[in-house]
Amino acid sequence: MATTLNTDVAVNLDITARRNDTFKMILTVKDAAGTVVAFPTSSGGDGPSYQGKMTIVNSSGDKVISFFSDYWRDLQEHGSTYTGNHPKDRTPAANQEGFYTGGTGAGAAIYFHPSTGVVTVNVPYNNIDFQSGEYSYDFQVYKYPNGGSIEYITWLYGKFTLRADITQA
């Protein structure tokens, strides 16, 4: 008798966006019972209980751009230098990965709205300025509930299609 265990909770969601247009994705997160997940503002560690990162890669697996919540792995990016895994904002280029965090709190590229179960991914048009085509992406969450242990969970993955744009900003 075959027995299997699948701990992969990620959902395959293919996304189509247009080059040089603002990218906005609003998710309402619910648990298996259909109850909205409340995102508490405090945690057992540094920073919010929920933090996020979304990365888009090309067909060779090279990173094109990553979007971050204002905290990622307890590192907040605000100054002229950074340490670790949370680099300064920069637009993507042909030979250089892009990064976008944006502002703090609700002004960040990825924001977990406290107590509502809503996650917003909001990236300005000039950071969606890379070659149109087919890519892959995933959206990973760092979860550190008060009194709990740290978890990294991929919530979404799939194909990211960037369509060409005629009118440029």
Measured CA to CA, the distance from residue 56 to residue 72 in angstroms comes to 17
Question: Tell me: the pLDDT tens digits for 80-130?
Answer: 444 445 567 778 887 788 888 887 778 889 999 988 899 999 999 999 999
Does the structure show a pLDDT above 70 at 44? no
Q: Are 122 and 109 in contact (CB under 8 A)?
A: yes
Measured CA to CA, the distance from residue 138 to residue 65 in angstroms comes to 11
Mean pLDDT score of the chain? 84
